[in-house]
């Protein structure tokens, strides 16, 4: 880790425990309490100092400070302040105790605490637990958990167990022994080796091999070995981004890391998500609770662009990993096995004839055939029944279901062309849609889309884009719509040159005004690199960019560019980094804005169902801690999307 102190809460200078005790006593005297005074005092002292205040309070007033605080305060604010007053080990002990003694076990809490503490912290935790609850933490944990999950938790609790004393004789057990006992540096090397051999990260292997709580635990251990701050940044994001805020998690992490590595966590947070931890807390919480959390967070990173040493290494590593990984795309819709187009055509006609339409039959047929098979059904419908299936469907179905079914019946190229058209016609252009479509399609898909556009609308898509957009943004889209992105692996020497161009472009942008020609020139060079190089090559470029400039390419784009150009550049970078993740975020936004953006939802689900919707689902779950399926059910009234197999 980085040298020096990386927390946000430190010992207060000129500390006087009895004066502080008196301040707190006065703040709670009389009617209503002075919450501001309590908040400022508690967050302005280190945990060790808070323990002295508890003692001083007891000796001055003969009362238990924690009891008084509980009595005076309420809700999340109370939980936060009271938790801050406990010694860290006792706070951990209480969290574990609550996690196993409540109704149902809170596995996520067990995982987080046990996977992220070091030897000393675990020792203290074990002692504090016995002291507070008079029972053995290991027995309590094993009583409430089972299987490999239980074994791994026990290993984490007995960090000192010499490796190899017990043999369970399964794949999992080797894994468990390894992860529970080797040093972090040793394991980081093991993970790198694994990546080279398997061409996928150890995390991906865990995800495909394991499931449930055991999978979660193993992932947590691996993530903590890679980077504890990064692990906590992810946990914090999920605690605020799932359905409803998980205050327990938020409180626990903000408290336990405020004196350890909150600065690193903030930095990792900024690197992974489009905003600072500070702003996220600000949007997601309220009142004194919010003000206390912000005090623990200690500052806003949205303005910074530089990396801390720890984060620079992580960012470099992240691009390297993504450059080495072979992603296996997994669709959710596959061809039907005993397929009979004539039979399907007749059943569809029957479902639409006479009074009322049998939507279930239509959904059942359309959603369980591949796109190629659907094209055969269209032909059969024409040749056997002499009717246009698309027209029939349009007249029989209503709004969103109609859009969805028609979207599935079009060829991918026709559908893309139609979506591009919809994004440009009418009042206002949907720039996000244009960006999303053009940055996520392969050259072949773009060529097919161009042909379908020309065929359907009697003008070229390039012309349409140029008449509908302007300036730099128009240049970027025009470049992407050529479908001329290079293919093939990275060329190291060229990646270095490209990274230097990007770095000097950034410096020029920072120094020069927009009217300055050099900056114009640079920006065009930078744009053409982003629009024409292959994705594997760009990953290497961005990796080198971190090394050349000690800055984050995403942050630079956000800081130095604006408007649609910024959105387009950003879309390319996110897509290069991890395309399924970029699309998962687009889905999240489509459902999270005021009123669901049904068009975006339908566009993404239809266009990705035979490409990588399964990967997108996994990314969604990992980022938001709830499945796409749950989210769609909560967030939308659209006809249930199970027809695209999102369960």
Span(s) in the chain for CATH 1.10.220.10? 17-87, 89-226, 230-302, 341-409, 412-482, 492-577, 579-644
Q: Report residue 105: phi and psi, to 5°.
A: -85, 135
Q: Is the pLDDT confidence value at 451 over 50? A: yes
pTM assigned to the model: 0.86
CB 316 within 8 A of CB 546: yes
Predicted confidence at residue 174, as pLDDT, reads 60
Q: Out of 3.40.50.2030, 2.40.40.20, 1.10.220.10, 1.10.10.10, which CATH number does the structure's domain 492-577 have?
A: 1.10.220.10
Distance CA 417, CA 100 (A): 54
Per-residue pLDDT at 443: 96
Whole-number Å distance between alpha carbons of 352 and 381? 13
Q: What is the pLDDT confidence band of residue 166, given thresholds at 50, 70 and 90?
A: very low
* Rounded average pLDDT over 373-399: 96
Q: Which of 472, 438, 465 is nearest to 572 (CA)?
A: 438
Q: Taking a C-beta distance cutoff of 8 angstroms, is the pair 342, 329 a contact?
A: no
CA torsion through residues 287, 281, 506, 571, sign:
negative
d(CA 167, CA 188): 23
Q: In DSSP terms, which residues pair with 551 in a beta bridge?
A: 306
In the CATH hierarchy, which fold is given to the domain comprising 230-302? Annexin V; domain 1 (1.10.220)
Instruction: Count other C-beta atoms under 10 Å from residue 101's C-beta.
Output: 12
* pLDDT, tens digit, 9 for 90 and up, residues 14-57: 999 999 999 999 999 877 789 999 999 999 999 999 999 999 99
Rg of the chain over Cα atoms, rounded to whole angstroms, equals 28
- pLDDT-derived band at 250, boundaries 50, 70, 90: very high
Q: Which of 325, 322, 328 is nearest to 542 (CA)?
A: 322
Cβ(640)–Cβ(623) under 8 Å?
no
Q: Average pLDDT of the chain? A: 88
Predicted pLDDT of residue 594:
65
Render pLDDT for 178-187 as a digit per residue (tens, 0 to 9): 666 667 788 8
Cα separations in angstroms, 644 against 220, 397, 459, 613: 30, 18, 32, 9
Task: Give the Å distances, CA to CA, from 276 to 138, 211, 280, 296, 556.
Answer: 38, 31, 6, 14, 14
Lowest-confidence range among 5-9, 308-312, 420-424, 468-472?
A: 308-312
Q: How far apart are CA 633 and CA 346, in angstroms?
A: 32
CA dihedral over 185, 191, 192, 197, signed as positive or negative: positive
For residue 453, give the nearest of 433, 474, 481 by alpha carbon: 481
CA-based nearest residue to 553, from 532, 529, 586: 529
pLDDT band at 507 (very low <50, low <70, confident <90, very high): low
Q: Say yes or no: domain 17-87 is CATH 1.20.1250.20.
A: no
pLDDT for residue 83:
96
Ranges 133-142, 236-245, 494-503, most confident: 133-142
How much is the pLDDT for 181?
A: 63
Mean pLDDT along residues 242-267: 91
| CATH of the domain spanning 412-482 | 1.10.220.10
Residue bearing tokens 């009418």: 426
Specify the pLDDT at position 510: 56
Question: Which region among 162-166, 289-293, 474-478, 524-528 has the lowest average model confidence (pLDDT)?
Answer: 162-166
Q: Specify the long-range contacts of residues 99-108, CB closer than 8 Å, at least 24 apart.
A: 100/140, 100/141, 100/143, 100/144, 100/145, 101/140, 105/144, 105/145, 106/248, 107/145, 107/149, 107/213, 107/216, 107/217, 108/216, 108/249
Q: What is the architecture of the domain spanning 579-644?
A: Orthogonal Bundle (1.10)
- Percent of the chain residues past pLDDT 90, beyond the cut: 60
DSSP bridge partners of 474: none
What's the per-residue H, E or C state across 353-405?
CCCCCCHHHHHHHHHCCCHHHHHHHHHHHHHHHCCCHHHHHHHHCCHHHHHHH
pLDDT tens column, 513-524? 444 445 677 778
DSSP 303: T
pLDDT per position as a tens digit, 171-216 = 566 666 666 666 778 888 888 888 888 888 888 888 888 888 988 9
Task: Give the model's pLDDT for residue 501.
Answer: 83
Cα separation of 245 and 79, whole Å? 15
Token pair for residue 354? 């006479």
**Does domain 341-409 sit in CATH 1.10.220.10?**
yes
| 402, 393 Cβ separation under 8 angstroms | yes
DSSP, residue by residue, 419-465: HHHHHHSSSS--HHHHHHHHHHS-HHHHHHHHHHHHHHHSS-HHHHH
- pLDDT the model gives residue 164: 32
CA dist., res. 71 & res. 82, Å (int):
11
Please say whether the structural domain 89-226 has been given the CATH code 3.20.190.10: no
């Amino acid at each position: 880790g980085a040298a020096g102190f990386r927390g946000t809460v430190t010992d207060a200078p000129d500390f006087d425990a009895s004066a502080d005790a008196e301040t707190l006593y006065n703040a709670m005297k009389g009617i209503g309490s002075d919450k501001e005074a309590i908040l400022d005092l508690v967050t302005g002292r280190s945990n060790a100092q808070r323990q002295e205040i508890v003692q001083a309070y007891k000796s001055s007033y003969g009362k238990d400070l924690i009891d008084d605080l509980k009595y005076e305060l309420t809700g999340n604010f109370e939980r936060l302040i009271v938790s801050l007053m406990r010694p860290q080990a006792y706070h951990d002990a209480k969290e574990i105790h609550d996690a196993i003694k409540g109704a149902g076990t809170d596995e996520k809490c067990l995982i987080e605490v046990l996977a992220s503490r070091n030897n000393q912290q675990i020792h203290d935790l074990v002692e504090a637990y016995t002291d507070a609850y008079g029972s053995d933490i290991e027995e309590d944990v094993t009583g409430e958990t089972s299987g490999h999950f239980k074994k791994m938790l026990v290993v984490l609790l007995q960090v000192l167990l010499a490796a190899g004393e017990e043999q369970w004789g399964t794949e999992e057990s080797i894994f468990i022994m390894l992860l529970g006992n080797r040093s972090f540096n040793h394991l980081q090397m093991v993970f790198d080796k694994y990546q080279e051999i398997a061409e996928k990260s150890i995390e991906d292997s865990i995800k495909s091999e394991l499931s449930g709580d055991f999978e979660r635990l193993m992932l947590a251990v691996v993530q903590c070995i890679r980077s504890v701050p990064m692990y906590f940044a992810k946990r914090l994001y999920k605690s605020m981004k799932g359905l409803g805020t998980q205050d327990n998690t938020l409180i626990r992490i903000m408290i336990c890391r405020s004196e350890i590595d909150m600065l690193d966590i903030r930095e990792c947070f900024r690197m992974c998500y489009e905003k600072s931890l500070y702003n996220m807390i600000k949007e997601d919480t309220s009142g004194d609770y919010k003000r206390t959390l912000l005090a623990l967070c200690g500052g806003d990173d949205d303005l910074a662009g530089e990396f801390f040493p720890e984060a620079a290494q992580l960012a470099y590593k992240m691009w390297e990993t993504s450059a080495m990984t072979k992603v296996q795309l997994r669709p959710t819709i596959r061809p039907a096995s005993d397929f009979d187009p004539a039979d399907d055509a007749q059943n569809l006609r029957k479902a639409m004839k006479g009074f009322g339409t049998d939507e279930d039959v239509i959904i059942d047929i359309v959603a369980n055939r591949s796109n190629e098979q659907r094209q055969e059904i269209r032909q059969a419908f024409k040749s056997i029944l002499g009717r246009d299936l698309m027209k029939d469907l349009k007249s029989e179905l209503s709004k969103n279901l109609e859009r969805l079914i028609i979207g599935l019946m079009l060829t991918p190229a026709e559908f893309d062309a139609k979506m591009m058209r919809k994004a440009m016609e009418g009042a206002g252009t949907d720039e996000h849609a244009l960006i999303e479509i053009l940055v996520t399609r392969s050259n072949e898909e773009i060529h097919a889309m161009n042909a379908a556009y020309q065929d359907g609308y009697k003008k070229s898509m390039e012309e349409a884009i140029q008449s509908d957009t302007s300036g730099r943004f128009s240049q970027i889209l025009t470049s992407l719509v050529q479908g001329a992105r290079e293919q093939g692996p990275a060329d190291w020497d060229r990646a270095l040159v490209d990274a230097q161009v990007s770095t000097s472009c950034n410096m020029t942008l920072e120094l020069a005004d927009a009217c300055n020609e050099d900056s114009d020139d640079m920006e065009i060079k930078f744009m053409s690199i982003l629009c024409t190089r292959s994705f594997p090559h760009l990953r290497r470029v961005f990796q080198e960019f971190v090394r050349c400039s000690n800055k984050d390419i995403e942050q630079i784009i956000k800081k130095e560019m604006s408007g649609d150009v910024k959105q387009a550049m950003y879309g390319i970078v996110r897509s290069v980094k991890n395309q399924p993740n970029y699309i998962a975020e687009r889905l999240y936004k489509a459902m999270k804005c005021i009123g669901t953006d049904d068009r975006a939802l339908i566009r993404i689900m239809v266009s990705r169902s035979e490409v990588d919707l399964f990967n997108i689902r996994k990314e969604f779950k990992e980022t938001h801690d709830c499945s796409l399926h749950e989210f769609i059910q909560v967030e939308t009234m659209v006809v249930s999307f199970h027809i695209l197999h999102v369960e």
